[in-house]
Structure 1
Amino acid sequence: MAMVEKVIIVEGRTDKKKIQPIINEPVTIICTNGTVSLTKIDELIELYILEEKDVYILADADSAGDKLRNQFKRELPEAEHIYIDRAYREVATSPVNHLATVLTGANFDVNPEFLLK
């Protein structure tokens, strides 16, 4: 049986660039580029066949991130939400060791060097 593909949905390209080197396993990272409409979410679900994958939402700890999470909670309720510490506010500005820790907590295989930084 094939392994279920993992997908992480982030807000922007800087978030994607920040977490890509931390993750040590195949994963698709999708950028929403800010707030998205329900149509856009439906398109993402269809385009990436998200119902058949393990989907994780990694959004900023701010009002835009909360809004994005709420939209995905409605449209893709089975998605798992990964939260960064509110003190860091943005995924892109969070320390790599913090991101590695929260990703490990969500059962991602992370590059161990990032846990030590």
Structure 2
Amino acid sequence: MTAYNEKVIIVEGLTDKRQIKKVMAENAEVICTNGTLGVEKFDELLDDYDLDNRDVYILVDEDSPGIRLRRQLSRELPHAEHIFVSSDYREVATTPENILAAELAGKRIEVNPIFLI
């Protein structure tokens, strides 16, 4: 079995991943869904990343596609914790770094303290 980090954060796109990686201090894995997930693609993610046996966090945009994806992931991964960005920012990628860092830290994900000022 491949060694994984304990935590995995699921996001929609590459710009979301970049924004999260910028503020994170721990080596949690961030995976992109690239939008909606079909059954086959989800099963592939489930197996490839061993999502049933890891601490999973869902962080998606507060727009219609993001909300649909959150609902789908909630059904498939009931053990996952949810991280929300304010609807004022709508997108993970456009959420200010200090706000994003505070949300991640609130879920026990280590962030660079410079972003918590």
Question: Could you state the TM-score of these two structures normalised by the residue count of structure 1?
Answer: 0.93
Counterpart of 1:99 in structure 2 is 100
| Alpha-carbon displacement from aligned partner over 1:41-69 (angstroms, at most 9, x marks no partner) | 12101110111100000000111111011
Deviation string, structure 1 residues 68-100 (Cα, Å, up to 9, x no partner): 111111111101110011110000011000100
1:60 aligns with 2:49: no
How far apart are the structure 1 equivalents of 2:49 and 2:4? 16
Taking the aligned partners of 2:92 and 2:7, their CA distance within structure 1 comes to 19
Determine if the alignment matches structure 1 residue 112 to structure 2 residue 106: no
Structure 2 CA distance for aligned equivalents of residues 83 and 38 of structure 1 = 24
Q: How many residues align?
A: 115
- Structure 2 equivalent of residue 40 of structure 1: 41
> Unpaired segments of 5 or more residues in structure 1?
none
Secondary structure at the aligned position of 2:112 is classed as coil
Give the equivalent residue in structure 2 for 1:85. 86
> Which secondary structure state, in structure 2, belongs to the residue aligned with residue 56 of structure 1?
strand
1:73 alignment counterpart: 74
Match of 2:18 in 1: 17
State how far apart, in whole Å, the 1-side matches of 2:4 and 2:34 are.
28
| Runs of 4+ more than 2 Å apart | none
2:82 counterpart SS class? strand
CA contact (8 A) 2:5 2:29 kept: no
- Superposition RMSD in Å: 1.5
Structure 1 vs Structure 2: percent identity of aligned residues? 55
Report the equivalent of 2:52: 51
CA shift, 1:4, in A, is 6.4
